[in-house]
């Protein structure tokens, strides 16, 4: 049963919240054994396994330092700057850990998550697209700049979501996720940024140049009062689902005593088609054999849920 490990169903009210706000936090929905596998998978993938398997990790803290040295504005604040260098942790992420780690793969394709996507999309078929593992070690100074996921995926369609799942207790102080409520319906295709800065990838790397209709994100971090921002702390067992066009980000992990780990699992529903975007950083585990307009059903993007 694909729904083994689901502690309760998704309610109709939660589906309506996802549709209206572009994000819903599903409290206490995943069983503890799945959460334990997730924690193990993140540790194995980020500490050691990636080197053995030759998959890339992205040290966003190192990027922040390089950008800062080059005079590119990196998001920060007085509290983050006050974290002394010797107590500073790293913001590390990896895309595609499911291809090297059996625990993360199991969560992605053989867990209740695809069913949850089907409920929220009100669809009969769900594909797994990819995953991103994210870790903010104790004392991580870096923000995740507000962004939407659309310019990072080779997809078009409305039924695309990210499911952010953490094995840790995540508080506002340790980097809880933030969402701009309802922004998935603004109808704007934003530029991809470099994660720790509002600067767009296209401004820094011509090979990932922005597409003609992409718009620079507004300065939300600098003007939080002008936006309807939801901050969602999380506990083990919670799943936070956001629409791929919803603006989201997170703050530093100011805490010196807790690591903030998560995997964001990405799913697509029936209305989704392949759409190549120049702004997507190339992924070594992706093959590029689909054409614009194709259904994405393939070994790379497997069907992980079908209604009986
Ligand atoms: O964990 C974070 O700070 C960012 C997560 C994210 O951007 C996502 O889940 O799409």
Domain assignment present for 146: yes
What confidence tier does 284 reach under pLDDT thresholds 50, 70, 90? confident
Query: 207 alpha carbon to ligand 1 midpoint, in Å?
Result: 24
Q: Flag whether 298 is in a domain.
A: no
3 compared with 179, residue with greater pLDDT: 179
* Confidence band of 283 (pLDDT split at 50, 70, 90): confident
Position 16 scores a pLDDT of 98
Q: What is the CATH number of the domain that holds 121?
A: 2.60.120.620
**DSSP 8-class letter at 185:** G
* Residue 135 within any structural domain of the chain: yes
User: What does the pLDDT read at residue 101?
Assistant: 94
Please check whether residue 292 lies inside any domain of the structure. no
- What pLDDT is stored for residue 280 in this prediction? 85
Q: Residue 233: which of 169, 183, 180, 182 has the closest Cα?
A: 169
CB neighbours of residue 4 within 10 Å = 11
- Is the shortest distance between the CB of 201 and ligand 1 below 6 Å? no
pLDDT for 278 equals: 83
Q: Which domain holds residue 230?
A: 12-285
Strands (DSSP E) found in 206-259: 229-232, 239-243, 248-250
For range 225-234, the mean pLDDT: 98
In a domain, 202, yes or no: yes
pLDDT in tens, 208-229: 666 778 899 999 999 999 999 9
Q: Average pLDDT for residues 262-276, to the nearest whole number? A: 97
Name the residue of 164, 168, 184, 232 whose CB sits within 8 Å of the most ligand 1 atoms, as the mutation to test its pocket. Answer: 164
Give me the number of domains the chain comprises.
1
* Residue 4 lies inside a defined structural domain of this protein: no
pLDDT band at 268 (very low <50, low <70, confident <90, very high): very high
Q: What is the mean pLDDT of residues 36-49?
A: 91
Arithmetic mean of pLDDT, 237-241 = 98
Residue 136 falls within a domain, yes or no? yes
Per-residue pLDDT tens over the stretch 104-129: 999 999 999 999 999 999 999 999 99
Residue 264 in contact with ligand 1 by CB distance below 6 A:
yes
Per the CB < 8 A criterion, the answer to whether 133 and 96 are in contact is no
pTM score, two decimals? 0.96
Q: Which of 192, 184, 180 is nearest to 232 (CA)?
A: 180
Q: What's the 232 CA to ligand 1 centre distance in angstroms?
A: 12
Residues 156-199: pLDDT tens digits?
999 999 999 999 999 999 999 999 999 999 999 999 998 999 99
Nearest residue by C-alpha to atom 9 in ligand 1: 264
Quote the pLDDT of residue 1. Answer: 44
State if residue 108 touches ligand 1 by the CB under 6 angstroms criterion: no
What's the CA-to-centroid distance between 44 and ligand 1, angstroms?
Answer: 20
Q: Report the percentage of the chain scoring pLDDT > 90.
A: 84
Ligand 1 atom index nearest CA of 134:
1
| Ligand 1 centroid – CA 285 distance (Å) | 20
In a domain, 290, yes or no: no
- What is the average pLDDT across 265-277? 96
Q: Cα(44)–Cα(50) distance, rounded to whole angstroms? A: 8
pLDDT class of 204 with cuts at 50, 70, 90: confident
Tell me the CA–centroid distance for residue 177 and ligand 1, in Å: 7
174 lines ligand 1 (CB under 6 A): no
Could you give the CA distance from residue 62 to residue 232 in angstroms, rounded to a whole number? 27
């Amino acid at each position: 049963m694909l729904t083994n490990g689901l502690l309760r169903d998704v309610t109709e009210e939660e589906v309506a919240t996802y549709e209206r706000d572009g994000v819903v936090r599903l409290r206490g929905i995943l069983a503890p054994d799945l959460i334990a596998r997730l924690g193990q998978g993140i540790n194995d993938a980020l500490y050691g396994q990636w080197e053995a398997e030759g998959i890339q990790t992205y040290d966003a803290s190192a990027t922040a330092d390089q950008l800062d040295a080059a005079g590119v504005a990196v998001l920060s604040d007085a509290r983050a700057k006050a974290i002394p260098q010797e107590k500073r942790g790293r913001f590390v992420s990896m895309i595609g850990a499911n291809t090297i780690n059996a625990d993360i793969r199991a969560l992605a394709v053989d867990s209740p998550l695809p069913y949850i996507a089907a409920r929220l999309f009100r669809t009969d078929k769900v594909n797994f697209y990819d995953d991103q593992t994210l870790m903010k070690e104790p004392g991580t100074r870096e923000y995740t700049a507000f962004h939407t996921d659309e310019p990072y995926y080779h997809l078009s369609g409305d039924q695309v979501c990210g499911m952010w799942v953490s094995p840790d207790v995540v508080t506002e102080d340790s980097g809880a996720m933030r969402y701009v409520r309802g922004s998935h319906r603004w109808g704007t295709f934003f530029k991809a940024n470099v994660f720790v800065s509002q600067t767009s990838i296209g401004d820094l790397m011509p090979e990932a140049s922005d597409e003609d209709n992409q718009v620079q994100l507004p300065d939300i971090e600098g003007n939080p009062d002008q936006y309807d921002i939801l901050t969602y702390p999380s506990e083990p067992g919670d799943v936070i689902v956001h629409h791929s066009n919803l603006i989201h980000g997170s703050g530093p992990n100011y805490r010196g005593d807790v690591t903030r780990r998560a995997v964001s699992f990405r799913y697509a529903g029936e209305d989704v088609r392949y759409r190549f975007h120049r702004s997507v950083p190339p992924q070594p585990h992706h093959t590029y054999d689909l054409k614009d307009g194709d259904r994405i059903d393939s070994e790379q993007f497997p069907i992980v849920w079908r209604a009986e």
